[in-house]
Amino acid sequence: MTKSADTHCPYCALQCAMTLTSPAGLTPASEPGSVPVPAESAALAAADATLKAPLLEVSGRDFPTNRGGLCRKGWTSATLLNHPGRVTEPLLKGADGVHRPIGWDQALALVTTAVKDTQARYGKDAVGVFGGGGLTNEKAYMLGKFARLALGTSRIDYNGRFCMSSAAAAGMRAFGLDRGLPFPLTDLDSASTIMMLGSNVAETMPPFVQHLQGARDAGGLIVVDPRRSATAKFTADGGGLHLQPMPGTDLTLLLGLSHVIIHEGLADEDFIAARTTGYEAVVRSVNSFWPERVQSLTGVPAELIRETARRLADGASKGGSYILTGRGVEQHVDGTDTATAAINLSLLLGLPGSRRSGYGTLTGQGNGQGGREHGQKADQLPGYRKITDPAARAHMAGVWGVPEETIPGPGLPAVQLLKSLGQPDGVRCLFVHASNIAVASPDANAVIAGLRSLDFLVVCDFFMSETAAEADLILPVLQWAEEEGTLTNLEGRVLRRRRALQPPAGARSELWIMARLAQALEAPSTYSEDPETVFEELRLASAGGHADYSGIDYAMLDRGEAAYWPYPVGSTGTPRLFLDAFAHAGGKAVMTPVTPRRRRTPAANPDPAAKTMTLITGRLLEHYQSGAQTRRVSELLASQPEAKMQIHPAAAAAIGITEGAFVSVANERGEVVCRAELSTAIRPETVFLPFHFPELESANRLTEAATDPISGMPEFKFNKVWVRAVATG
Ligand code: SF4
């Protein structure tokens, strides 16, 4: 009997709707008791993947965000469910460094002992938890509760710190609330003008491009990117504008755009007077950023800056204008200020809080939105509440049935948590969930050294990721098509994930694992392993918070009802935020003046044969995040099998680099060796590396773990590197 399930893609925040069909009905994903063979390399793992046909067929399903479309990652997503390299039993690392299967009882006993021993010797905070933006809402919620109550540690944070933290902080600062898109994605369809900064949706989430078509047809697309990315090319070919600033100058460019809006009388003065505060300070802050000066600082021609500002203002007076930011402008040590500058520009134009214009940030990870709402952030309790807020603590103490003082205070943001690994007052025992931090973290060499210095590392994963390979104990967990739950997409819309397949006999849900460990640790409160029961608790926990889910339940999601938070009991949800008021007391948006800061001086280039250049990192069409999953899909790996450093032909010629030749890209933190790809699409002083690949091709060996003082965002998009040809033969 054919079995099908309507669900959503396991990868990015667009959460494209898909139907999974299992011609054979419910089928075990693999033989119980089979022992996985850790892949020697990504290529070997991909070769393994060709051994079995996927158990499920994937088809795109009509839904407002994807309208039946999927990208190649989505089309091939079922390949991994019965991948031969999958971890299907707990694996314990022996003294010889080899992982061998053990039973669940022994595995849980080992974890319990490690936690108790570590905390007896070093204190509660010596145990840490690192979560992920791919966890369902239920798991993200339970992970925060498990860390704070069962482990009693303050040290929990997650990989969203590397993803959305700058934009989230800027949104809270300006609007009093952070929801990636405060409007349905389909609102973009009728816009006259859309400006995207640091976002390459044509490669990262291709079905999104449908929503740009109307503005493109009107010549109203604008892209800001140091590379002529696929999105920039799509824009320019449609008569739109591509601004190609030097890396690290986005904030300056935004100040220049605001300068033009103010000085050419294009600001929406009625909106500013009625709905914002801080205008005068912003005017003063942009006065010194006139277009010709901004041209000299950013490399973007002054006339192009003026033309962009005029098109944004013109669009706002016609079909509507939108400003959208992505990781390219947010993943900086001044990421919060840069996103703030983009919001200030949108407020000058009167875009937010309108039915036909707006500002938004494009969330990246599958549950990047929900993942930052339910308490796995170091400074946060469920419902997007501050952990230092007495009222929030009292509320959660009531929901959890514990004394308020037993809930720990704020912990360490992700970079600081990782820097503390193995340190005297740092984390000695670490739990990792849904993250491949050995590849995805800044200064990855230092992170790997930190992982190796731990007393005990437990990693929950379904593959032998580069982080799992470092673990003392690997706990095998379910994949997306084997579990029930909810995720919240980039619009703040809560969606149902549905099971289409029985998991392998040896794999367990993280909810099951946390429930068993909480019991063994004699933790206070309750820890259900049933997703719907956890969601019911999450409803109570979130009630009254910013991200209020209290009016949402599984039944309404199963009926296909649209559920945008905040969705208090008795309401119909909130597809569009801020129509009447912003979330700050008084209802006004806050404009905060921001200016560029001087960055740390990088180490001097010690290699006379190498040229100092600026490295930017990003994603490719075929791969997702650290590539732990997509590098195991043979169709994807065959198309993009390795990292290549993109470099302008003129820069390449100056240091003797030819197409396809091996290059060394190095700095004081490490070295990458990979092939060169010559392209006029990139600025001459800049090189690009994708960050999906491990070991010698790992771009994050070069990125700096310096952080934005407000959000904790690391510097991913502006790192000095020394580039040279690698001698062959
Ligand atoms: Fe999946 Fe994102 Fe591709 Fe859609 S765009 S199919 S959600 S990876």
User: What pLDDT digit, counting tens, does each position of 245-286 carry?
Assistant: 999 999 999 999 999 999 999 999 999 999 999 999 999 999
For residues 372-383, give the mean pLDDT.
95
In this predicted structure, what is the pLDDT of residue 598?
Answer: 77
pLDDT tops 70 at residue 34? no
DSSP element (H, E) containing 5:
strand 3-8
pLDDT tops 80 at residue 691? yes
For residues 442-465, give the mean pLDDT.
98
In this predicted structure, what is the pLDDT of residue 562?
Answer: 96
Residue 106 — φ and ψ, nearest 5°? -65, -40
Nearest ligand 1 atom, CA 60: 6
DSSP element (H, E) containing 644:
strand 644-647
Q: How far apart are CA 341 and CA 286, in angstroms?
A: 10
Q: How far apart are CA 432 and CA 411, in angstroms?
A: 16
- Residue 26 pLDDT class (50, 70, 90 cuts): very low
pLDDT tops 60 at residue 317? yes
For residues 332-340, give the mean pLDDT.
95
Q: Separation of 335 CA from ligand 1 center, angstroms? A: 25
Q: Separation of 76 CA from ligand 1 center, angstroms? A: 10
Q: Separation of 344 CA from ligand 1 center, angstroms? A: 30
In this predicted structure, what is the pLDDT of residue 39?
Answer: 36
Contacts of 494 (CB under 8 A, 6+ apart): 137, 370, 486, 487, 488, 549, 552, 557, 563, 564, 565, 567
Q: Bridge-partner residues for 227, per DSSP?
A: 682
pLDDT tops 70 at residue 49? no
Fold assignment, 611-725: Barwin-like endoglucanases (2.40.40)
Nearest ligand 1 atom, CA 70: 6
Per-residue exposure over 71-97, b if at least 16 CB sit within 10 Å of its own CB, e if not = bebbbbbbbbbbbbbbbbbbbbbeeee
Q: Are 319 and 194 in contact (CB under 8 A)?
A: no
Question: What does each C-alpha distance from 546 to 231, 451, 723 come to in angstroms?
Answer: 33, 35, 46
Q: Atom 2 (ligand 1): residue with closest C-alpha?
A: 12
- Residue 111 pLDDT class (50, 70, 90 cuts): very high
In this predicted structure, what is the pLDDT of residue 23?
Answer: 73
Q: Separation of 629 CA from ligand 1 center, angstroms? A: 14
- Residue 25 pLDDT class (50, 70, 90 cuts): low
DSSP H helices in 427-552 = 437-440, 444-452, 510-520, 531-542
Q: How far apart are CA 39 and CA 465, in angstroms?
A: 9
User: Ligand 1: which of 7, 8, 14, 367 to mutate, most ligand atoms within 8 Å of CB?
Assistant: 14
DSSP per residue, 158-184: EGGGGTTHHHHHHHHHHHS---S-SS-
pLDDT tops 70 at residue 11? yes
Domain 3-82 bears CATH identifier 2.20.25.90? yes
Is the ipTM of this structure higher than 0.90?
Answer: yes
Q: Atom 3 (ligand 1): residue with closest C-alpha?
A: 71
User: Which pTM does this prediction carry?
Assistant: 0.94
In this predicted structure, what is the pLDDT of residue 599?
Answer: 77
Burial class (CB in 10 A: 0-12, 13-18, 19+), 201: buried
For residues 454-470, give the mean pLDDT.
98
Residue 667 — φ and ψ, nearest 5°? -160, -165
* Per-residue pLDDT tens digits for 85-94: 999 999 999 9
In this predicted structure, what is the pLDDT of residue 729?
Answer: 56
Mean pLDDT of the chain: 94
Any idea which of 24-33, 410-419, 467-476 has the lowest mean pLDDT? Answer: 24-33
Q: How crowded is residue 348: how many other Cβ atoms within 10 Å of its Cβ? A: 27
CA terminus-to-terminus distance, the chain: 59
For residues 556-579, give the mean pLDDT.
96
User: Ligand 1: which of 15, 16, 480, 635 to mutate, most ligand atoms within 8 Å of CB?
Assistant: 16
In this predicted structure, what is the pLDDT of residue 52?
Answer: 61
Nearest ligand 1 atom, CA 624: 8
Contacts of 14 (CB under 8 A, 6+ apart): 65, 66, 205, 207, 208, 489, 490
pLDDT tops 60 at residue 51? no
pLDDT tops 90 at residue 3? no
Percentage, residues of the chain above pLDDT 90 = 92
In this predicted structure, what is the pLDDT of residue 597?
Answer: 84
In this predicted structure, what is the pLDDT of residue 55?
Answer: 85
- Residue 513 pLDDT class (50, 70, 90 cuts): very high
User: Ligand 1: which of 8, 9, 489 to mutate, most ligand atoms within 8 Å of CB?
Assistant: 9
Contacts of 509 (CB under 8 A, 6+ apart): 139, 477, 478, 483, 529, 531
Q: Separation of 552 CA from ligand 1 center, angstroms? A: 25
Q: Atom 5 (ligand 1): residue with closest C-alpha?
A: 205
Q: Separation of 119 CA from ligand 1 center, angstroms? A: 41
For residues 645-673, give the mean pLDDT.
97
pLDDT tops 70 at residue 502? yes
pLDDT tops 90 at residue 323? yes
pLDDT tops 70 at residue 47? no
pLDDT tops 50 at residue 578? yes
In this predicted structure, what is the pLDDT of residue 76?
Answer: 96
Q: Atom 4 (ligand 1): residue with closest C-alpha?
A: 16
| Ligand 1 lining (C-beta closer than 6 Å) | 9, 11-12, 14-16, 66, 70-71, 73-74, 205-207
Contacts of 596 (CB under 8 A, 6+ apart): 249, 251, 252, 255, 334
Which one has a higher pLDDT value, 219 or 32? 219
In this predicted structure, what is the pLDDT of residue 24?
Answer: 64
Percentage, residues of the chain above pLDDT 70 = 95
Q: How far apart are CA 52 and CA 59, in angstroms?
A: 19
* Per-residue pLDDT tens digits for 142-176: 999 999 999 999 999 999 899 889 999 999 999 99
Fold assignment, 105-163+367-530: Rossmann fold (3.40.50)
In this predicted structure, what is the pLDDT of residue 264?
Answer: 98
Nearest ligand 1 atom, CA 206: 5
- Please give the order of strands across the beta sheet that includes 99-101: 99-101, 91-93, 473-476, 456-461, 429-433, 127-131, 156-158
The CATH homologous superfamily of the domain defined by 168-366: Dimethylsulfoxide Reductase, domain 2 (3.40.228.10)
Q: Are 223 and 201 in contact (CB under 8 A)?
A: no
Question: What residue ranges do the domains of the chain occupy?
Answer: 3-82, 105-163+367-530, 168-366, 611-725
Q: How far apart are CA 139 and CA 147, in angstroms?
A: 12
pLDDT tops 70 at residue 35? no
